[in-house]
Structure 1
Amino acid sequence: MTRTDTDTIAPRDPNTVMTLARMGSFHQCRLSFMRVLLRRLKADNWRFERREFEVDAKGVGHAVYTAHGPAHSYSLVAFANDLPPEKRSDRVIATEWDATFTLYDGIPDRTEIERLRANIPLQEAGRVDDNSLSVSRANRSVRLWDHVVEALAAGQQPDEARVADVGYLMRTTAVYGSGKLGAADREKTAHRPEFHAPFQVEMLSVFLTRAFVMDLVEHMARVRSPDTAVPLAPALRRRFGIGNSTGLGMAPYLINHPVLLNNWIAAREEALARVRSLRSALPGTAEAVRSFTRRAQINAQGWHSEHPIQQRKLADLRRDMDALATHLAEADLSGPQPWNALWQWGEENLTLEGQEQLVSLLLEPHGDLVDELAQCMAADETTPTRIDGTMPLDLFRAHVEDVYGFALTIDWTAQAAQENVWYTSEEKLEPRLGDRYAEPVEPYELPLCPGRDAARMHADLLASDAGTVARFLMDHPEHRHIARRAQIAARFPFAEIRDNTIGAGLLPIDLLRAKLAFFGAVHFDPRSDRWVRINMFQHAPFPGDLAAGEADDWTFPPAEEAAQ
């Protein structure tokens, strides 16, 4: 793509993008980490093998799935368990699971497998070293698991409607990496090309887990009836993803990693700006966007939730996709800057759900233009950010007013403005949310409301005659943490959420969805305003399909379904 092909349109304003309501409407896109992973696996000709599968008639045993790359091999070591139904739970306090996993750096020998067998099924209670890159666990979706085993054992395929209703056979309740539970720190692998982009270790672990789960369910069907059992039909097999339950423990991540958040959002916004800036539609892209929109309609219709908030959002999305499809059927996409015109139409006619889905749809046929931005999404967080004490105070105050202007209009003395308190639970050492006025949690509050803290600092800035940031912080050392954040946000425009993260109206699921959308998750299904179920790698190829198949065009229901 040359400069003459575009008339540059700037990325969207951070004040528009970085609200919780909009972030809670993000969708997967070409820059989502699952898709980045599969594109690399395909491009680098990774080879996969099932080295071991030793599971008995009760479903107890282990398996090893190895991915061979240009320079390194990685093995998913899976341990299957015959878990009694009464012990099956999505809660973090569970102590047993249907399956547990580690992504091993290399290929484990028998001694290593036995060491892992003694520790990985225990999860937090076990001992893990830096040969493990991730540690995870999963439980069966019992209503669908039993049905699939019974159908396959009887020589039949499972009911497609039941498969569509759930969408996965196992649901992970944690996929830990980056030093969690003693696993390897990111620094061990960040220099490896396959893991440069964020969360590639975790995505590879889930990708291989999906292969194991499908093999396990077919194995259990053969055990039940060796003479009549059949495998899943390939097209139906791909409709299964891996579920995940995610709660408050993940929610503060985006606040705690401002530069990383900036890099994720900035890459996505730059991608959208590049597409909007195109002077004309590239060959084939107009029909591609129409086709992806039809597939997005199917996706929206098949996405269900029992939570009232998500039901309203889904109603918006379905109306939006219908309206977009109708508009595209009549729109002239041969004129100047057609994608910018379509975007402007979307801003005027679609809800937040539809607008953020439109972002994904516009990126879909423009991989050559935007995929390279995935290499800009990592962040080096090993070096602490130093406060620039020489910065003139007038300039610093201007930065604060620019980034935290939303917070300066909030009455922080009002009870509703700071009803919630983020704190760390004593039992699991994970973030939790409490009521400031109903629970004795305020003394344990974590600094997870930059807006309020910036407003407090701004009041002192207005009253200060200090000439520099250093002199101001000598008088007000309590503002050091927010001063550092403000200087970071002045350099990285998408580093800060421009919203109240402790107010009465806070929906932690907005934070969860923003992060999970960057993972590549679909079918967000909140179970409350504090935890959500999702689906990962649904419709994706399996490891053995990558060499001869498509690595990228899988995140919406297949094109043939849209055509029908």
Structure 2
Amino acid sequence: MRDPARTHIPRRPPAQVMRLSRLGVLHQSRLSFMRVLTRRMAAEEWTFTRPVFEIDAQGVGHAVYTATGPERSYSLVAFAHDLPADQRSDRVIAEAWDATFCLYDGVPTGADIDRLRANVPLQEAGRISETELSLSRANRSVRLWAHVVDRLARGQQPDPARIDAVGYLMRTTAVYGSGKFGAADREIIADRPEMQVPFQAEMLSVYLTRVFVRDLVQNMAHALGGDRAATLDPSIARRLGIGNSTGLGMAPFIVNHPVLFNNWIMAREEAIARVRSVETATPQEADTFRALLDRSAFSVVRWRSDHPIQTERLGLLRADLVALMAYVAVSDLATDYPWNRLYQWAEANLHEDAQELVASLILEPYPDLVDGLASCMADGDPDAFHIDGAQSVAETRAALAETFDWAFDLDWSAPSNCARAWYVSEEKLEPRLGERFDEPIADYEQPLAPARDAAAAFHALDNYAGDTAIAEFLLAHPQHRQSIRRAQIARIAPYAEIRDNTISADLLPIDMLRAKLSFFGATHFDPRSDRWVRIAMYTGAPYPEDLTPASAEHWIYPEAPP
């Protein structure tokens, strides 16, 4: 095992990493939360059961799926509904869905299921309790669902091309956790080993949802076709993930959780630095990288989007992959710090999307250097948000300048620099982004413009002596408390702040969405506008009956057919 203490190539600086142009092209990696979960479940030999499956021929009813680890069990309680076509919507304002779910802490009793049946299908309109860890809902991909049911019912397998074109039979439109609608707060489960890494409850919920969706479509096909119905081929089932539609509600998360987001980025940057510091690679390590590069190229070929921004990015990425594979084919990946040389070449010759793909891929041969960093990705510092009132004005100005100096010279009165305003919708209490000069929203603006606010705080400090305690300044100017807090946080969390203007006319919120979703382990990002995106989750992942340490390792990279 290599000693990570020998790392001597530094982490990439925040000024490079924290630009939205780079955050908006991040890729999944060994540290992504879905992969952390499947590795753990396989290594610990979790068991999976389906104690309840009461679904009728129309696909209506409920089911329970229980996952049991070394110390405790978790159960997905799923409700399948007969949803009229005119009520099907991916928007957060929808009030009915094809399926609704919760992740129960333990194994539910009949009374628990009755209570959940009265609340889970209502989603926001219902209430759950601290015995539930997440609340979610999903809609069918209607045409593909009908195709799969029809083919299986007639004793045939679905068309693989149609499977790959969509990638999922159902897509979630929300997976809520961490105290929403009465669910358990994060603190209740944070000290459990299997929940230490962020979003493990939500990732487990989606993993079990994928199993339920496979079983539901199979059940409906058997109900329709009877004895002649076919069983879905496991190789085709593996190609089906769970889709997700994610909009603006998720974008502010990485601004509102600066320490947590810092920990995600810092863990990945530390992993990259460790691998770049590897002096020599074994033939097996080089072969692993080359094999996964080939599989990544195949994945990118299958990646489809009609959105002009993503179409352009995919064109550049595909061209860059051709150049990358040609370079790797003739390169020495064994000696003289091979991964550092490869990354430096990528930085000089490829666009940011391909650079970040390389940064993720070089981590794959090194579980001993990388995987342990996942335990550092949670936010375990409750004191980080406390303002140190004794800090001097001079120290505060230096802290602000260290992170936000790029923003101090911007003309914040220029319409292009403050064109947008974040607010919360009255109907669904969800974040929204409006046009400041076209809509009456300025009075409802949320504090989601850290750069503008930091510049204002910095200039307000001009009138105070350097040795003045910042508490004195804040007593007179409490509106700057958030900026001072963020500046102090950035001193201990250097990757906490996006180094871009989050209210500019040029802002692409989908970059913020992809930054977060890449850490979930999402693939095949497909923007539907500049404000919401569809993704695939667990595509290629082993189902419970196939989950082993080997199958849990590189499932996210599809293998090209012979």
Alpha-carbon deviation of 1:2? Answer: 4.1
Cα displacement string for residues 350-379 of structure 1 (whole angstroms, at most 9, x for unaligned residues): 101101111111111111110000000000
Distance 1:472 1:116 in 2: 51
Could you tell which deviates more after superposition, 108-117 or 133-142?
108-117
Distance 1:208 1:470 in 2: 50
| Residues 57 and 130 (structure 1), Cα distance of their counterparts in 2 relative to 1, 3 Å cut | same
Q: Which residue of 2 aligns with 1:352?
A: 352
Distance 1:435 1:368 in 2: 48
Distance 2:262 2:247 in 1: 22
Cα displacement string for residues 281-325 of structure 1 (whole angstroms, at most 9, x for unaligned residues): 134111111111111111111001010000011111111111111
Residues 60, 80 of structure 1: 8 Å contact kept: yes
Q: Which residue of 2 aligns with 1:50?
A: 50
Distance 1:254 1:416 in 2: 23
Cα displacement string for residues 21-76 of structure 1 (whole angstroms, at most 9, x for unaligned residues): 11000011100000011111111111001111110011111111000111111110
Cα displacement string for residues 98-122 of structure 1 (whole angstroms, at most 9, x for unaligned residues): 1000101111111111111111111
What SS does the aligned partner of 2:333 have? coil
**Which segments of 5 or more consecutive residues in structure 2 lack a partner in the other structure?**
none
What SS does the aligned partner of 1:406 have? helix
Alpha-carbon deviation of 1:382? Answer: 4.5
Alpha-carbon deviation of 1:395? Answer: 2.3
What SS does the aligned partner of 2:386 have? coil
Alpha-carbon deviation of 1:384? Answer: 6.1
Alpha-carbon deviation of 1:549? Answer: 5.1
Residues 77, 104 of structure 2: 8 Å contact kept: yes
Q: Which residue of 1 aligns with 2:523?
A: 522
**Which segments of 5 or more consecutive residues in structure 1 lack a partner in the other structure?**
none
1:455 is the counterpart of 2:455: yes
Mapping of residues 112-261 of structure 1, within 5 Å: 112-261=112-261
Q: Which residue of 1 aligns with 2:492?
A: 491
Residues 88, 97 of structure 1: 8 Å contact kept: yes
Mapping of residues 425-440 of structure 1, within 5 Å: 425-440=425-440
Give the letter aligned to residue 341 of structure 2. Answer: A
Distance 1:354 1:109 in 2: 50
| Residues 129 and 428 (structure 1), Cα distance of their counterparts in 2 relative to 1, 3 Å cut | same
Distance 2:6 2:329 in 1: 25
What SS does the aligned partner of 2:226 have? coil
Q: Which residue of 2 aligns with 1:265?
A: 265
TM-score (norm 1): 0.97
Distance 2:447 2:487 in 1: 14
Residues 4, 274 of structure 2: 8 Å contact kept: no
What SS does the aligned partner of 1:226 have? helix
Mapping of residues 400-419 of structure 1, within 5 Å: 400-419=400-419
Give the letter aligned to residue 506 of structure 2. Answer: G
Cα displacement string for residues 136-194 of structure 1 (whole angstroms, at most 9, x for unaligned residues): 00000011100011111111111111000000000001101101111111111111110
Give the letter aligned to residue 371 of structure 1. Answer: D
| Residues 381 and 181 (structure 1), Cα distance of their counterparts in 2 relative to 1, 3 Å cut | farther
What SS does the aligned partner of 1:498 have? coil
Residues 5, 279 of structure 1: 8 Å contact kept: no
Distance 1:142 1:488 in 2: 46
Q: Which residue of 2 aligns with 1:551?
A: 552
Distance 1:525 1:548 in 2: 30
1:332 is the counterpart of 2:332: yes
Give the letter aligned to residue 511 of structure 1. Answer: M
Distance 1:186 1:7 in 2: 33
Alpha-carbon deviation of 1:334? Answer: 2.5
What SS does the aligned partner of 2:227 have? coil
Distance 2:362 2:117 in 1: 46
Alpha-carbon deviation of 1:409? Answer: 2.8
Alpha-carbon deviation of 1:462? Answer: 2.8
Root-mean-square deviation (CA), in Å?
Answer: 1.4
Alpha-carbon deviation of 1:464? Answer: 2.3
Residues 25, 352 of structure 1: 8 Å contact kept: yes
| Residues 187 and 96 (structure 1), Cα distance of their counterparts in 2 relative to 1, 3 Å cut | same
Q: Which residue of 1 aligns with 2:78?
A: 78
Residues 283, 334 of structure 2: 8 Å contact kept: no
Give the letter aligned to residue 80 of structure 1. Answer: A
Alignment: residue pair count:
561
Alpha-carbon deviation of 1:5? Answer: 9.1
| Residues 482 and 305 (structure 1), Cα distance of their counterparts in 2 relative to 1, 3 Å cut | same
Distance 2:458 2:372 in 1: 39
Give the letter aligned to residue 528 of structure 1. Answer: S
Residues 541, 549 of structure 1: 8 Å contact kept: no
Residues 43, 549 of structure 2: 8 Å contact kept: no
| Residues 49 and 432 (structure 1), Cα distance of their counterparts in 2 relative to 1, 3 Å cut | same
Q: Which residue of 2 aligns with 1:370?
A: 370
Q: Which residue of 2 aligns with 1:63?
A: 63
Residues 422, 448 of structure 2: 8 Å contact kept: yes
Residues 262, 494 of structure 1: 8 Å contact kept: yes
Q: Which residue of 1 aligns with 2:507?
A: 506
Could you tell which deviates more after superposition, 455-464 or 412-421?
455-464
Give the letter aligned to residue 484 of structure 1. Answer: R
Distance 1:347 1:212 in 2: 43
| Residues 466 and 373 (structure 1), Cα distance of their counterparts in 2 relative to 1, 3 Å cut | same
| Residues 440 and 209 (structure 1), Cα distance of their counterparts in 2 relative to 1, 3 Å cut | same
Distance 1:46 1:52 in 2: 19
Residues 277, 337 of structure 2: 8 Å contact kept: yes
Alpha-carbon deviation of 1:128? Answer: 0.8
Distance 1:64 1:218 in 2: 16
Q: Which residue of 1 aligns with 2:538?
A: 537
Residues 133, 201 of structure 1: 8 Å contact kept: yes
Alpha-carbon deviation of 1:269? Answer: 0.2
Cα displacement string for residues 374-412 of structure 1 (whole angstroms, at most 9, x for unaligned residues): 000000365562211222322221121110012113111
Distance 1:135 1:57 in 2: 26
Distance 1:210 1:334 in 2: 40
Q: Which residue of 1 aligns with 2:35?
A: 35
Q: Which residue of 2 aligns with 1:476?
A: 477
Distance 1:474 1:114 in 2: 53
Distance 1:273 1:549 in 2: 26
Give the letter aligned to residue 480 of structure 1. Answer: R
Cα displacement string for residues 306-351 of structure 1 (whole angstroms, at most 9, x for unaligned residues): 1000001111111111111111001112331110000000000110
Residues 282, 334 of structure 2: 8 Å contact kept: no
Equivalent pairs: percent with the same residue? 57
Q: Which residue of 2 aligns with 1:322?
A: 322
Distance 2:158 2:151 in 1: 5
Distance 1:29 1:7 in 2: 20
Distance 2:423 2:148 in 1: 42
What SS does the aligned partner of 1:222 have? helix
